[in-house]
Amino acid sequence: MDVVDPTTGERIDSYDDHTERDVDDAIARADSAFEDWRDRPLREREALLASAADVLRENIEEYASTMTREMGKPIEQARSEVEKCAWVCDHYAEHASAYLQPEGHASPPGADVQTVYEPLGPVLAVMPWNFPLWQVFRFAAPYLTAGNVGLLKHASNVPGCALAIEEVFAEAGYPEDVFQSLLIPSDLVDGVVADDRVKAATVTGSGPAGRAVASKAGAELKKTVLELGGSDPFVVLDDADLDAAVETGAWARNLNGGQSCIAAKRFVVHTDVYDDFLDAFVDEVESYTVGDPMDEETDMGPQARQDLVEDLHGQVEASVDAGATVETGGEPIDREGSFYAPTVLTDVPEGCPADSEELFGPVAAVWEVDDEDAAVRRANDTQFGLGASVWTEDRERGERVARRIDAGCVYVNQLVKSDPRVPFGGVGASGYGRELAGAGIREFVNRKTLWVE
């Protein structure tokens, strides 16, 4: 696996792929490690997770720099990602015991009936490059602490991040082989899923990747959790705080170079405030500093790979050809590296890519709507259902509109985000299952009914 710095286009590192024999050996070691790990007291597993949080914080500069070099995330955002990984470790170190507490049930006199939560075994995680540490720790912190063991198939452009995560658990004192990174191409994933020793799989990534893993796992009757793409609406009603909506909305679209499944992608704005919002929104987007992600002043670095720039620009060009108007940006930046200009599109025709597809980069599409009902219809006019954001100074109105939007999570007067304290996931083409909080840690366990009389 060659690592190409997206800031310069130069190869900066290379890693040997694991072979099929290597993978078989890794699964065997994971299966063996599970037999001891599952019997570790939960409090011990929590303590080890707290140690992982310490390792992350102690090495924050190293891990942040690895992310920035491999996929172009601005260094300050990379540091924040490492800190968020430590936070999810802190959270489950504190709350896993409560989340996995046996649940009692009504029973006849003399009987004790409860649900207990027991681990399944080795779990495969297929993870993306856009948040190369956070996406993995969002999986690993709860599932390892529940007593499972992890096998990570990370994106091929972030192998250094994959090995760094393995290092975190080793430095924290986890037993050998409880967490392993597999440096393998996608065509070996089916074999891992089909292996009898692997008990479940989780995917964060594209729709095709999720469908492929889910199809194979379904044929093997194995549990899956899918967190796939999104085309999140950002609804601005006529009574919204425009300054806050503009500032937060622009950042919600362009954070991490716009490469986020929960980024605000479709801006649905009430006609009474449309012109003011659009003018301010374009100004805000144009104020961002795009450049070297190692520079502390940079707001947006390069896209993660050159092919992603080409794909994104193809979607923009097709949308413009269909009738969309470019308010700002609309093309790659003429400089070394994989840079794309922050872009705002209006007059977006139905069925063009900006309307019907996920744009995974710094491109915002803006619609004008006449009223609240039209805003809800536009927000729901998508195959995706990951997140949504609603802006209004009337909290009751915000909750009412939020309940009408078809999504796994809706935030009122806040950008969509994943938080260890609340369940996270989508509906429709955005996947199924939940990560984080109690719902997340209980996804990959046997919910065993235990009746004692």
Report how many domains make up the chain.
Answer: 2
| Distance (Å, whole) CA 65 – CA 276 | 39
> Are 57 and 79 within 8 A, CB to CB?
no
Does residue 94 carry a catalytic annotation?
no
Q: Are residues 214 and 281 in the same domain?
A: no
Does residue 85 belong to any structural domain of this protein? Answer: yes
- Give the domain range for residue 343: 232-381+387-412
Q: What is the pLDDT of residue 409?
A: 98
Both tokens assigned to 331: 């093309």
The CATH number for 266's domain is 3.40.309.10
Is 421 part of a structural domain of the chain?
no
Residues 57, 106: one domain?
A: yes
Q: Are residues 356 and 434 in the same domain?
A: no
Query: CA-based angle 215:259:347, to the nearest 5?
Result: 100
- Same-domain pairing of 371 and 435: no
150 membership: H or E segment, kind and range: strand 149-153
* pLDDT at residue 228, rounded to an integer: 97
Separation CA 231–CA 359 (nearest Å): 8
Pair (405, 435) in one structural domain? no
Query: Do 64 and 122 fall into the same domain?
Result: yes
What's the confidence (pLDDT) of residue 328? 98
Q: pTM, whole model, 2 decimals?
A: 0.97
Which of these is catalytic: 227, 327, 358, 435? 227
DSSP string, 214-231: HHHHHHTT-EEEEE----
Q: Could you give the 3-state DSSP secondary structure of residue 369? A: strand
- Which residue is associated with the tokens 């024999």? 21
Same-domain check for residues 238 and 219:
no
pLDDT for residue 358: 98
Q: Which residues make Cβ contacts (< 8 Å) with residue 41, sequence separation at least 6?
A: none
The partner residues of 317 in beta bridges, in order of sequence, read none
- Is 227 catalytic? The answer is yes
- Please give the pLDDT value at position 318: 98
Which ranges of the chain have pLDDT less than 50? none
Distances (CA, A) of 61 to 5, 58, 75, 376, 446: 18, 8, 9, 43, 38
Count of positions (residues) in the chain: 453
Q: Are residues 277 and 337 in the same domain?
A: yes
Direct distance between the N- and C-terminal alpha carbons of the chain, in angstroms, rounded to an integer: 57
Q: Strand runs (DSSP E) across 278-429, as ranges?
A: 325-328, 343-346, 363-369, 387-391, 409-412
Report pLDDT for 450: 98
For every residue of 110-126, DSSP letters joined together read T-EEEEEEEE-SEEEEE
Catalytic residue (choose from 261, 357, 368, 372) = 261
Q: What is the mean pLDDT of the chain?
A: 98
Q: Write down the pLDDT at residue 298.
A: 98
Task: Please name every residue paired with 255 in a beta bridge, in sequence order, or none if there are none.
Answer: none
Whole-number Å distance between alpha carbons of 367 and 399: 22
